[in-house]
Amino acid sequence: ESAKKKGHIVMIPFMAHGHLIPFLALARKIQETTTTFTITIATTPLNIQHLKSAISTTISSINLVELPFNHSQYGLPPNIENTEKLPLTDIIKLFHASTSLDAPLSSLISKITEQEGHPPLCIISDVFLGWVTNVAKSLGTRNITFTTCGAYGTMAYISIWSNLPHRKTDSDEFWVPGFPKNYRFHRTQMHRFLREADGTDSWSKFFPPQIALSMKSDGWICNTVEEIETFGLQLLRNYLQLPVWCVGPLLPSTTKGSNSKHRAGKESGIALEDCNEWLDLKEENSVLYISFGSQNTISSSQMMALAEGLEESEKLFIWVIRPPFGFDMHGEFKAEWLPEGFEERMKHSKRGLLVHKWGPQLEILSHKSTGAFLSHCGWNSVLESLSNGVPIIGWPLAAEQAYNAKMLVEEMGVSVELTRTVESLISKEDVKRVIEIVMDKEGKGNEMKEKANEIAVHMRKATLEKGEEKGSSLRAMDDFVRTILQI
């Protein structure tokens, strides 16, 4: 069959759930656009397993190729090939280790070239794997960078890492190159590693050079929608001086037809039917959904305040809960981390549902009873929330999440920020206050809901085809395909 194909696209994601799944979604999107390409996703053996279980339920012609990976050389514990079981402080080791995929990727490209008589059309690589651009150049193919973050968040993150503007001032507020002159970011909007980066630590040894390389690729694909990120896209295009194709929202596929406790390669702490049954009994927009993504958790004092605030707010909630920061996130949950009798009381009164470890997020967000999302503002979570018109209470914890949170409040008007980082102190009053604002059926809460609904409409239109007219994300995908066939 591959003989009939016009070319091969090889994709290489960064090894984290929030990157692997959008890469898979992008591969599918390319296949939906045209069947003329062979698509291969290459990553380490354990991540191939993760991808396999994520696609097991759908018929797929995406090739999955294992790249050998030597974790011990980088001080990673045995069998660690992604961020899942890695404490936040060790994630940087995984970033450094990802550069060792250079040789196996080169062999793969050479093998494909030999078999097909010409190199692949392009390698689509994660924004953090800038070294791929050199592999592509040396083997006669092109490199397209895929950022699984939004345009604004990507822009802030790459410019701050490249320029370290916060180190050039004593003030808490600073300007970030590439943003309008009067635009300000705050020191607390940086995660610890970035705040403390001084050019000699292992974080600054990785990010600036990798970002600089990604900026030399032939174009960028962004998991966003043209109409919802006008500002961020204008800045990003100007900064990169490269084509940026917005093909989003790339969302994970839902559970339809598969085991209801599995989605995207993960086992959920609750069966989908039980979760839906709980939500079905609630009023429209009455439930707050709480989750901090695939690799973060909050501190034990924050967890206590959140629980107390939830209980006193008397709102309904579903909380995907994990052991607090400093404990094994995948270990046993201890009742002492919550107010005495909390879980029992919530269960008994049917006011709150605690889902341990992992929940069916996209399904919860698309249920009509869900009215707001308390989120760490990871970009996938943001897209999943907004595509369902659900406003957000922001609690950014790492990566570019604080910039996403800032944009959601200041540019989109769909969010209120509760706090930042795992280090902050919060009180139950803080929690109650933001819940009341965002879940208010009138006033500010209603405004945010309306804006979130408008964004959801833009997102839907972007991926729709009406007769001759195609949405912006479909048009961008067509343009991407045309471009790589020509260059």
Residues that bind ligand UDP (CB under 6 A): 17-18, 21, 252, 291, 293-296, 320, 358-359, 361-362, 378-381, 384
- In the complex, minimum distance from the CB of residue 226 to ligand UDP, in angstroms, rounded to a whole number: 20
Q: Length of the chain, please?
A: 487
- In the complex, minimum distance from the CB of residue 440 to ligand UDP, in angstroms, rounded to a whole number: 25
Q: How far is CA 185 from the centre of its chain?
A: 21
CB-count burial class (<10 Å; 0-12, 13-18, 19+) for 44: buried
What is the sign of the dihedral through the CA atoms of 321, 327, 329 and 331? negative
- In the complex, minimum distance from the CB of residue 465 to ligand UDP, in angstroms, rounded to a whole number: 25
- In the complex, minimum distance from the CB of residue 154 to ligand UDP, in angstroms, rounded to a whole number: 13
Structure tokens at 39: 């698509």
Is the CB of 226 or the CB of 400 nearer to ligand UDP?
400
- In the complex, minimum distance from the CB of residue 299 to ligand UDP, in angstroms, rounded to a whole number: 17
Beta bridge partners of 410: none
For residue 483, which phi and psi values (nearest 5 degrees)? -65, -50
- In the complex, minimum distance from the CB of residue 362 to ligand UDP, in angstroms, rounded to a whole number: 5
- In the complex, minimum distance from the CB of residue 421 to ligand UDP, in angstroms, rounded to a whole number: 14
Is the Cβ–Cβ distance between 153 and 404 less than 8 Å? Answer: yes
Is the CB of 38 or the CB of 369 nearer to ligand UDP?
369
Is the CB of 119 or the CB of 249 nearer to ligand UDP?
249
Is the CB of 250 or the CB of 476 nearer to ligand UDP?
250
Is the CB of 128 or the CB of 174 nearer to ligand UDP?
128
- In the complex, minimum distance from the CB of residue 139 to ligand UDP, in angstroms, rounded to a whole number: 30
Q: Which residue has the tokens 């972007």?
A: 462
CA dihedral of 149, 153, 156, 162, whole degrees rounded to 10: -10
Is the CB of 37 or the CB of 152 nearer to ligand UDP?
152
Is the Cβ–Cβ distance between 358 and 382 less than 8 Å? Answer: no
- The 10 Å Cβ neighbour count of residue 403 is 26
- In the complex, minimum distance from the CB of residue 358 to ligand UDP, in angstroms, rounded to a whole number: 4
Is the CB of 322 or the CB of 432 nearer to ligand UDP?
322
- In the complex, minimum distance from the CB of residue 5 to ligand UDP, in angstroms, rounded to a whole number: 30
Q: In angstroms, what CA-CA distances link 259 with 46, 266, 393?
A: 21, 11, 31
Is the CB of 452 or the CB of 484 nearer to ligand UDP?
452
Is the CB of 217 or the CB of 291 nearer to ligand UDP?
291
For residue 248, which phi and psi values (nearest 5 degrees)? -85, 180
Amino acid identity, position 411 = E
- In the complex, minimum distance from the CB of residue 388 to ligand UDP, in angstroms, rounded to a whole number: 11
Is the CB of 208 or the CB of 359 nearer to ligand UDP?
359
Is the CB of 119 or the CB of 248 nearer to ligand UDP?
248
